């Protein structure tokens, strides 16, 4: 609490009993102090947000609550009684339920089987299953948690899978529900539905802890919010008494520009033209269905959509590496020349020579080799470049000095080219990728999720560089699941759903609501029925 200049949340309503209280929790991993003397008090029957940048220590704190880590110091009180949470079983018995960012479901089991998994009553399954069926029915009625108990997880949409996770926790009689970045994979409408469920749970007296990095969600749903920065709890405030700007400043420790500062675009001739681009993957599923898009020089085209609707495949095809055994149809032209979509000329190296840069969606799996040093990663993908080679050998000295320069210009910290990529924070890893691709000055830059897992300070920096590249007259395709990012950065927004482009909008002439409906596959805005019902409930199984 030492650093908090703010009033400490919950103090004002000390009268309400705390569902969970942390006192002086500290946890270190080696020399890294992940949590330092954390105090937190969450009153019963409230929704409490925990917000902070990546690496601020949110996940560590929650892992301590769920018994994955043992704190070095401090105590945990549940319902006023101090307890030691040795493992997740203890946490469950104490009434703590966790909904992870990456669902922990058995994909080929039914909903019912997943719910009882680990909570079976005896050796035989049947009694547990029929008991669970009853409980599920009751929960569904109580909290709008409708899921077909006999559907397998595979056949459910992401939003429904998340409900199964919540049901699992409730079935284990959780009174305190912790949700880790729950909306990352949801459409805005699905997220709204989730929030209604959470409100329902709160009104029934459950306590909810919501971990997120989205300020909008905090403002929308929480009663109080705690801000973490560098392992410390820097403030706890009532949501009604704060603002997004104040929270952002608390998270980063300095003033932050939430909106991207940019001039209107001056688009020129199209650089990339896609005509009727289609793709069927090796399982026969159509991932892209007749995509027509133009990207002009000097503009940023934002491609919005819930992840898994074909954006990844589109980036891979344009990047020169369509998924194995996929059938790609249609035509793509780059500066008027057709791009090969299959065969040996369709590879990422050739695409780079054709002037296409690519910041891939998953920097840890694709964009970087995590065990390679930073300087090696600066040559990654460009290992053929003449300036990196000297006869038979790679010119390591040249690569190193190039890396040092790029790290300097992009303010990568620590500025140590010999450090392995995995030892950089998410934001600095991304800066290495962005530096490598942008500094090549590509005619077309493909960008996937540029700021996923990146702290706010680095987001600001990366956005600025992307806009600079646009102003230099380059074409940019921006794929992001963050609607806010798409809206603030793009000059034009296209929405993708189920492999189709649902429509194009200008960012200043649309709303999150309209885009959200497009993202859920609803084009007929005039139909009154769609207004109130979450679109995912109309097309629940289509996206499987």
Partner 1 sequence: MDKMPKWADVILTPLISLVLAMGISALVILAIGESPWVALTTMVEGALGSSYGWGFTLYYATNFIFTGLAVAVAYHASLFNIGGEGQAAMGGLGVALVLLNIPLPHWALALPVAMVGAALFGAAWAFIPAILQAKRGSHIVITTIMFNFIAAALLNYVLVNKLRPVGSMDPASARFPESTNLPALTDLFASIGIEWGRNTPANITFFLALAACLLVWVLIWRTRLGFEIRALGKSEPGAVYAGINPVRITVIAMLISGGLAGLMAINNVMGESERLVLNAVEGAGFIGIAVALMGRNHPLGILLAALLFGFLYQGGGELALWTTIPRELIVVIQALVILLTGALDNMVRVPLERLFLSRRRTGGAKG
Q: Quick check: 352 binds partner 1 (CB under 8 A)?
A: yes
d(CA 544, CA 537): 13
Q: Quick check: 52 binds partner 1 (CB under 8 A)?
A: no
Q: Quick check: 384 binds partner 1 (CB under 8 A)?
A: yes
* Contact with partner 1 (CB under 8 A) among 320, 426, 450, 540: 320
Which ranges in 94-157 belong to alpha helices (H)? 111-116, 125-143
Min dist. Cβ of residue 231 to partner 1 (A): 15
Min dist. Cβ of residue 526 to partner 1 (A): 43
Min dist. Cβ of residue 339 to partner 1 (A): 14
Q: Around Cβ 51, how many Cβ atoms within 10 Å?
A: 25
Three-state secondary structure call for residue 33: strand
Q: Around Cβ 17, how many Cβ atoms within 10 Å?
A: 12
Smaller CB separation from partner 1, 437 or 491:
437
Q: Nearest to residue 91, comparing CAs of 101, 103, 76, 104?
A: 76
Q: Which stretch binds partner 1 (CB under 8 A): 12-20, 318-326, 453-461, 515-523?
A: 318-326
Min dist. Cβ of residue 452 to partner 1 (A): 16
Smaller CB separation from partner 1, 137 or 413:
413
d(CA 294, CA 318): 13
Q: Which of residues 18-37 bind partner 1 (CB under 8 A)?
A: 29-32
- The dihedral of CA 165, 170, 171, 174: what is its sign? positive
d(CA 51, CA 218): 8
Q: Quick check: 349 binds partner 1 (CB under 8 A)?
A: yes
Smaller CB separation from partner 1, 37 or 350:
350
- Helix (H) / strand (E) containing 287: strand 286-296
Min dist. Cβ of residue 345 to partner 1 (A): 12
* Contact with partner 1 (CB under 8 A) among 7, 396, 441, 523: 396
Q: Nearest to residue 449, comparing CAs of 521, 358, 375?
A: 358
Q: Around Cβ 136, how many Cβ atoms within 10 Å?
A: 23
Smaller CB separation from partner 1, 341 or 368:
368
* Contact with partner 1 (CB under 8 A) among 140, 219, 348, 544: 348
d(CA 458, CA 454): 6
Smaller CB separation from partner 1, 129 or 346:
346
Cis-peptide into 414, omega within 30 deg:
yes
Contact 318, 334 (CB under 8 A): no
Based on C-alpha coordinates, what's the Rg of the chain? 25
d(CA 412, CA 404): 9
Smaller CB separation from partner 1, 151 or 394:
394
Q: Quick check: 381 binds partner 1 (CB under 8 A)?
A: yes
Q: Quick check: 367 binds partner 1 (CB under 8 A)?
A: yes
Smaller CB separation from partner 1, 33 or 88:
33
Number of residues that bind partner 1 (CB under 8 A): 37
Q: Around Cβ 517, how many Cβ atoms within 10 Å?
A: 24
Q: Quick check: 57 binds partner 1 (CB under 8 A)?
A: no
For 512-524, give the secondary structure using H, E and C: HHHHHHHHCCCCC
Task: Print the binding letters for residues 106-145 with partner 1: x by CB under 8 A, - otherwise.
Answer: ----------------------------------------
Which residues are near partner 1 by CB under 8 A? 29-32, 319-321, 347-352, 358, 360, 362, 365-372, 376, 379-381, 383-384, 389, 392-394, 396, 419, 423
């Amino acid at each position: 609490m030492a650093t908090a200049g703010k009033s400490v949340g919950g103090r004002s309503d000390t009268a309400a009993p705390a569902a969970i209280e942390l006192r002086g929790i500290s946890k270190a991993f080696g020399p890294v102090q992940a949590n330092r003397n954390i105090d937190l008090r969450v009153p019963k029957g409230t929704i409490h947000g925990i917000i902070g940048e990546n690496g601020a220590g949110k996940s560590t704190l929650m892992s301590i609550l769920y018994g994955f880590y043992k704190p070095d110091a401090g105590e945990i009180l549940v319902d006023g009684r101090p307890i030691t949470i040795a493992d997740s079983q203890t946490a469950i018995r104490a009434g703590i339920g966790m909904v992870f960012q990456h669902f922990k479901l058995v994909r080929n089991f039914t909903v019912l089987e997943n719910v009882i998994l680990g909570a079976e009553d005896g050796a035989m399954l049947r009694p547990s299953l029929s008991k669970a069926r009853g409980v599920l029915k009751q929960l569904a009625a109580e909290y709008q948690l409708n899921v077909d108990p006999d559907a397998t997880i595979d056949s459910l949409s992401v939003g429904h899978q998340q409900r199964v996770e919540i049901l699992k926790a409730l079935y284990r009689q959780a009174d305190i529900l912790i949700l880790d970045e729950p909306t990352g994979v949801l459409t805005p409408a699905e997220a709204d539905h989730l929030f209604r469920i959470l409100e329902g749970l709160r009104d029934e007296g459950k306590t909810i802890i919501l971990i997120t990095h989205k300020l909008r969600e905090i403002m929308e749903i929480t009663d109080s919010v705690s801000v973490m920065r560098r392992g410390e709890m820097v403030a706890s405030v009532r949501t009604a008494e704060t603002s997004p700007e104040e929270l952002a400043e608390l998270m980063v420790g300095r003033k932050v520009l939430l909106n991207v500062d940019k001039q209107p675009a001056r688009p020129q001739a199209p650089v990339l033209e896609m005509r009727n681009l289609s793709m069927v993957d090796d399982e026969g599923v159509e991932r892209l269905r007749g995509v027509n898009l133009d990207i002009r020089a000097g503009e940023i085209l934002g491609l919005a959509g819930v992840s898994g609707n074909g954006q990844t495949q589109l980036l891979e095809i344009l990047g020169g590496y369509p998924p194995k055994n996929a059938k790609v149809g249609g035509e793509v032209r780059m500066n008027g020349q057709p791009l090969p979509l299959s065969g040996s000329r369709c590879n990422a190296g050739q695409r780079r020579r054709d002037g296409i840069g690519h910041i891939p969606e998953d920097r840890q799996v694709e964009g970087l080799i995590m065990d390679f040093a930073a300087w090696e990663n600066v040559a990654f993908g460009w290992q053929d470049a003449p300036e990196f080679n000297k006869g038979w050998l790679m010119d390591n000295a040249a690569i190193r000095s190039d890396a040092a320069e790029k790290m300097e210009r992009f303010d990568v910290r620590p500025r140590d080219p010999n450090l392995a990529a995995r030892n950089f924070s998410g934001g600095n890893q991304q800066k290495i990728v962005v530096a490598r691709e942008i500094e090549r000055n590509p005619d077309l830059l493909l960008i996937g999720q540029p700021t996923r897992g990146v702290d706010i300070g680095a987001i600001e920096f990366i956005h600025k560089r992307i806009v600079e590249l646009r102003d230099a007259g380059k074409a940019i395709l921006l794929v992001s699941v963050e609607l806010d990012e798409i809206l603030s950065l793009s000059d034009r927004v296209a929405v993708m759903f189920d492999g189709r482009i649902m429509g194009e909008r200008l960012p200043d002439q649309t709303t999150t609501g309209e885009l959200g409906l497009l993202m859920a596959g609803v084009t007929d805005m005039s139909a009154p029925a769609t207004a109130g019902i979450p679109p995912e409930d109309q097309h629940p199984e289509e996206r499987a």
